[in-house]
Amino acid sequence: MNQAVAPKARPEFVLAAGDCLVLIRRSLRHLTRNMDEVIQSVVLPIMLLLLFRYLFGGAIQTGGPSYVNYVIAGVLVVSIAFSASATAVGVANDLQNGIVERFRTMPMFSSAMLVGHVVSAVLRNVLAVTLVVLVGLLVGFRPSASLGDWLVACGLLLLFITAISWLATLLGLLAGGVEAASGYAMILVFFPYASSALVPSESMPSVLRAFVENQPFTPIVNAVRGLLIGTPTGNSVWLSVVWWVPVLVLTMAFTVRYFRRHTGK
Amino acid sequence: MTGNYAIEARGLRKAFGDLTVLDSVDLRVESGTMLGVLGPNGAGKTTCVRILSTLLGADGGTATIAGHDVMKEPRAVRRVIGLTGQDTAVDELLTGEENLVMMGQLYRLGRSASQKRAVELLDQFGLTDAARRPVKTYSGGMRRRLDLAVSLINSPPVLFLDEPTTGLDPTSRMAMWETIRRLMAAGTTVLLTTQYLEEADQLADRVAVIDGGRVVAEGTADELKRKVGSERVELTFGEADLARARALFDGEHVGMQTLSMPIEGPSDVRDLLNRAASQNLDVKGFALHEPTLDDVFRTLTGAGPRTGATTAADTDGAATGAGAAVGAGATTGETA
């Protein structure tokens, strides 16, 4: 009887980290091989920016900054929510394809696959955010942020992107297939639309306004906007942290647990 | 752990809600041999493989792989098994080589050892030319070969092949059989599930027929065939003679003008032909019919026997009886 090749003796967490790296590399290769997805995840946000800048820009009163300056933080948050769909589809696709089944029959750190998906989703989003800001600068966006403001804004966006990516991964796991994953993830897009992302909440009817002012997408939009163009941030920076750190931690914990407990299909 | 069994399952039970999929399944596979698990769709074959490969928990019973309990030591089990399932479980966007290296690394073989093993396997499976192409450009046969190669990256002593040739064209199937034979020669223990009787007959040392969540028969292919019936001879008569022939021979009516009779040896054939000649019956056709696993399968799983073989009716009376209605009143081969 031939013997299975013995794995090298190393501490378990080192091996687990190694598994994560292997599967992060896999997900990054997917990004480079699947250019359609990358183009979509970059083109859509830029289209949104141009749409809002030129189509609605003249009609919407912000009560202060020009609309392009007002809307850029909103476009970033809407784009990030949109990208959840691609992330969820990627996860659902792996489940449907059977590769997750194989991973489960291997003596590896199974959640490494989830980490791979999340890391590639974060990188895809960082690329999209960077491009939206650059195109924004071309069409009239004039940030007034100091270096410190930029760092805090980037930190908040990174927190938000990571939380959304884990949430999308969970939706991909829970959905029964690729189409369902895409559909569920689109629900996330509703929230930034019903926030202060695109229009000031002051213009909304009272019931909607109550929802908008108390849902988690509004503080992140207000905080990023305030940091970038100098509108008042109020308590939105720490409210963003208070909302999104728990969302991130709980979603991550639940997703990993769910993935471990339930078999691939 | 008992002696030489690389795979041993006792009393495995599994239900999904009200649906009992496995109802006390016992399986044993000696080291270095292949057990073919044969059964119709929905018989519980895949569920069995999923439990043995740690993908699914059982509701009852025990199972060990190379001495490791699948429920209590899943990690130890995962180190010694390879699984090729019904769906190809490879990454479509990566190349064949990247797939192999990635899996090797996930088995913690290290990058260079994985690379080396990948090159070996690509060569062994005739995929060297396609090694740098994304898997999505592969044909069905190539995909299956890669899938099997991936299952072998860590040279597992125990291999599960869950319907490895389903959906393959005949040439690819033959090639897959050759590959599996080579693995067997290298001493790998294999549990193969299949719905193709010929596949089990060709490859497996022993065969377990599974139906309705139970093992309904187990043995070598020859033992099972003998269990179902003896050799038979089929005589075809002229249209005008059929009625007389039916009166003369206690045979089963298996075709338009064909009767099938059990025989024990060549002298029985002479006997039959002599009787036909003495009555001036016009024998237009003659065929020998050896019992096949097909017969075993049909009989034991209640899919209805093609020729005779009502002897196994006691295992599954109702279904077999219904299937045997064509041969009403037929007597069939005796079993030991």
Question: In chain A, which residues have their Cβ closer than 8 Å to the Cβ of B102?
Answer: 22-23, 25-26
* pLDDT higher than threshold 70 for residue B312: no
Spatial CB neighbours of A200, under 8 Å, sequence gap ≥ 6: A61, A62, A63, A70
Query: Which chain B residue has its CA at the smallest distance from A34's CA?
Result: B93
Which residues in chain A touch residue B31, judged by CB atoms under 8 angstroms apart? 1
How big is the CA angle at B101 (ends B96 and B102), to the nearest 5 degrees? 95
How much is the CA Rg of chain B, to the nearest whole Å? 24
* pLDDT value at A36 more than 80: yes
Tell me the chain B residues in contact with residue A103 when contact means C-beta distances shorter than 8 Å.
Answer: 106
Residue B319 pLDDT greater than 60, yes or no = no
CA distance B237 to B253: 11
Residue of A10, A18, A98 lying closest to B87 (CB–CB): A98
Residue B332: band (very low, low, confident or very high) from pLDDT cuts 50, 70, 90: very low
The pLDDT assigned to B43 comes to 83
**Residue A5 falls within a domain, yes or no?**
no
Is B162 buried (19+), middle (13-18) or exposed (0-12) by CB count in 10 A?
Answer: buried
Phi, psi of A82 (to 5 degrees): -60, -40
Q: What is the mean pLDDT of chain B?
A: 83
Is A31 an 8 Å CB contact of chain B? no
The pLDDT of residue A9 is above 80: no
* Closest-CA residue to A195 (of A170, A213, A207): A213
Q: Provide the pLDDT for residue A5.
A: 54
pLDDT digits (tens, 9 = 90+) for A61-105: 777 888 899 999 999 999 999 999 999 999 999 988 889 889 989
Nearest chain A alpha carbon to B185 = A1
Output the pLDDT for position B334: 34
**Residue B201 pLDDT more than 50?**
yes
Name the pTM for this structure: 0.79
Contact criterion met (CB < 8 Å) for B55 and A106: no
Instruction: Answer yes or no: is pLDDT of A180 > 60.
Output: yes
Q: What's the domain range around A212? A: 12-261
Q: How far apart are CA A183 and CA A200, in angstroms?
A: 28
Evaluate whether residue A2 is within a structural domain.
no
pLDDT band per the 50, 70, 90 thresholds, residue A4 = low
Distance from C-alpha of A150 to C-alpha of B275, rounded to nearest angstrom: 104
- The answer to whether A107 contacts chain B (CB < 8 Å) is yes
Q: How many CA atoms lie within 13 A of A78 on its CB side?
A: 22
Which residues from chain B sit within 8 angstroms of residue A177, using beta carbons?
A: none
- For residue A171, is it within any domain? yes
- How close B136 comes to chain A (CA, Å)? 11
Cβ neighbours of B253 (radius 10 Å) = 17
Directed axis angle between helix A178-193 and helix A217-229, to 10°? 60
pLDDT of residue B119: 96
Tell me what the mean pLDDT of segment B111-123 comes to. Answer: 95
- Residue A92 tokens read as 């659902």
Task: Tokens 């100098």: give the residue.
Answer: A230
Let me know if residue A3 belongs to a domain. Answer: no
3-state secondary structure at position B72? coil
Query: Looking at this predicted complex, what is its ipTM?
Result: 0.85
Res B53 pLDDT > 60: yes
Contact assignment for A101 to B87 by CB distance below 8 Å: yes
Higher pLDDT, A126 or B269: A126
Chain B residues closer than 8 Å to A8 by CB: 108, 110
pLDDT of residue B77: 95
User: How many angstroms separate the CA atoms of B43 and B215, rounded?
Assistant: 10
In a domain, A244, yes or no: yes
Phi-psi sector, B17: left (phi>0), alpha (psi -120 to 50), beta: left
Contact list, B108 vs chain A (CB under 8 Å): 7-8, 10, 15, 18, 107-108
Q: Are B245 and B276 in contact (CB under 8 A)?
A: yes
Measure CB to CB from residue B106 to each of A10, A97, A106 and give the nearest one.
A106
Q: Which of A36-40, A116-120, A138-142 has the lowest mean pLDDT?
A: A36-40
Report pLDDT for B146.
Answer: 94
Q: Which of A75, A78, A84 is nearest to A118 (CA)?
A: A84
**SS3 letters for chain A?**
CCCCCCCCCCCHHHHHHHHHHHHHHHHHHHHHHCHHHHHHHHHHHHHHHHHHHHHHCCCCCCCCCCHHHHHHHHHHHHHHHHHHHHHHHHHHHHHHHCHHHHHHCCCCCCCHHHHHHHHHHHHHHHHHHHHHHHHHHHCCCCCCCCHHHHHHHHHHHHHHHHHHHHHHHHHHHHCCCHHHHHHHHHHHHHHHHCCCCCCCHHHCCHHHHHHHHHCCHHHHHHHHHHHHHCCCCCCHHHHHHHHHHHHHHHHHHHHHHHHHHCCCC
**The pLDDT of residue B320:** 33
Top pLDDT among A65 and B312 is at A65
pLDDT band at B250 (very low <50, low <70, confident <90, very high): confident
Comparing CA positions, the residue from B90, B2, B173 lying closest to residue A100 is B90
Q: Region B93-108: what's the mean pLDDT?
A: 96
Cβ neighbors of A199 (< 8 A, separation 6 or more) are A60
- The strand order across the sheet containing B19-30 reads B19-30, B5-16, B60-65, B68-69
The number of C-beta contacts closer than 8 angstroms across A and B is 103
3-class DSSP state for residue B247?
Answer: helix
Tell me whether residues B107 and A107 touch, CB distance under 8 A.
yes
Q: Report residue B306's pLDDT band, with 50, 70 and 90 as the boundaries.
A: very low
Which residue in B89, B102, B157 is closest to A3 by CB distance? Answer: B157
Average pLDDT over residues B296-301: 72
Q: Which residue of A has its CA nearest to B111?
A: A22
Strand order across the beta sheet in which B81-84 lies: B81-84, B158-162, B189-194, B34-38, B206-211, B214-219
Question: Which residues of B have a CB under 8 Å from any CB of A?
Answer: 6, 31-32, 50, 53-56, 75, 78-83, 85, 87-94, 98, 102-103, 105-110, 113, 117, 134, 150, 154-157, 186-189
Predicted pLDDT of residue B13 = 94
Residue A6 maps to a domain: no
pLDDT at B60: 93
Name every chain A residue with its beta carbon within 8 A of the beta carbon of B186. 2
**How distant is the Cα of A5 from the closest Cα of chain B, in angstroms?**
6
- More confident call, A66 vs A21: A21
Give the residue with greater pLDDT, A8 vs B311: A8
CA distance A147 to chain B (A): 40
Q: Is the pLDDT of residue B313 over 60?
A: no
pLDDT of A18 higher than 50: yes
Q: Is residue A1 part of a domain?
A: no
Residue listed under structure tokens 């029959």? A105
Between the CA atoms of B265, B266, B268 and B273, what dihedral angle is there, to the nearest 10 degrees?
160
Structural domain count of chain A: 1
With bands split at pLDDT 50, 70 and 90, how would you rate the model's confidence at B277?
Answer: confident
Average pLDDT, chain A: 89
Q: Within a domain: residue A207?
A: yes
| pLDDT attached to residue A98 | 83
Give backbone dihedrals phi and psi of A44, rounded to 5 degrees, phi first.
Answer: -55, -50
B133: number of Cβ within 10 Å: 14
Q: How far is B101 from chain A (nearest CA, A)?
A: 10
Enumerate domains of chain B plus CATH numbers: 5-219 (3.40.50.300), 226-327 (3.30.70)
Other CB atoms within a 10 A radius of the CB of residue B187 amount to: 12
